[in-house]
Structure 1
């Protein structure tokens, strides 16, 4: 627990921290490969569906304020956040989790490239384009990068039966090591927390409904 608190403190002091890793190539069953290919080939414009118009204004406003120092241009910020929400929602992920992962992976740098060759906001390895994508897909394109990243994370969550600790380890190529999952957890719960509008007398904290178990 002490080591986790130290990691959170370090994360707070380094808001643009990048901890890019590299997903590992693993052979996929033909059915899985076909399903993932379908998941990344839909090129429709992202139109996120919020619980209400008020919630849309609140979420975009709060997230935009938090992101302003890292992404100064207002229109770029809005397009980015709408795409994050859409792709996270499409993959059945918490948008705050995706924002936390991007913070840790790339520090919100669109053209970030890791030493292993992972690219873009979500640091997607190029082999995924050959494995489940289509020729010519550009991993520096915002929608393509987020579509692949969210699809891959969903795939790892399904493999690990919802275990966020192990799924995040797979995503970063550091399965079994606590540093990366704990950093993403810290960003998810602290930097990008969001409390939805009270609905039917109950309030849930998005970004804290699914916790990544801290492991040392």
Structure 2
């Protein structure tokens, strides 16, 4: 019961739980400039993400991880969300026909290449770290040209279908301001 003697509905209870969790997520969100930026971004993206991850707490935890790893790699978190939508449709256990794993569809050979064979690419944080750093590497290699970096990420350099698919998802679902794409 609340102070007025009325019982909270299930929707009100979920909203209150989300508010409490969001408050905690914001205070733990160290990749944001300040608390206000964290609140605005997490609230905005949580609404957009609801169709992909139903549980509000899991959604906010995931979004904090995406923001942290994208920011650490100097990438737009919104572009990373678009890439994940294209690569795995937010399925952390996705495996492609060529063996790429997880949210960002990272090839397992990278674990051996960097001397971490025991890393679990279906772990969201691990996968996000690998994927974001790989994309940043390609972005540097392509001198800031995100279109070419995305094509390289996908193994389709010289073709535009993959970058256009990512940009399409970004425009439709994740657009949150300008991103330099060329």
TM-score (ref. length: structure 1): 0.69
The answer to whether the 8 A contact 2:29-2:38 is kept is no
Q: What's the counterpart of residue 99 of structure 1?
A: 81
Unaligned 5+ residue runs, structure 2?
1-27
* 2:170 maps to which of 173, 188, 202: 188
The answer to whether the 8 A contact 1:48-1:85 is kept is no
Rounded Cα–Cα distance in structure 2 between residues aligned with 1:75 and 1:188: 23
Paired residues in the alignment total 155
1:164 aligns with 2:146: yes
Unaligned 5+ residue runs, structure 1?
1-45, 195-204
- Write out the 4+ residue segments of structure 1 that deviate beyond 6 Å after TM superposition: none
Q: Say which SS state the counterpart of residue 86 (structure 2) adopts.
A: helix
TM-score (ref. length: structure 2): 0.81
> Could you tell me how far 1:49 is from its partner in structure 2?
2.4
RMSD between aligned alpha carbons? 1.3
> Could you tell me how far 1:78 is from its partner in structure 2?
0.8
Rounded Cα–Cα distance in structure 1 between residues aligned with 2:87 and 2:95: 10
> Could you tell me how far 1:69 is from its partner in structure 2?
1.2
The answer to whether the 8 A contact 2:145-2:181 is kept is no
Higher relative contact order (CA 8 A, sep 6+): 1
Rounded Cα–Cα distance in structure 1 between residues aligned with 2:29 and 2:174: 21
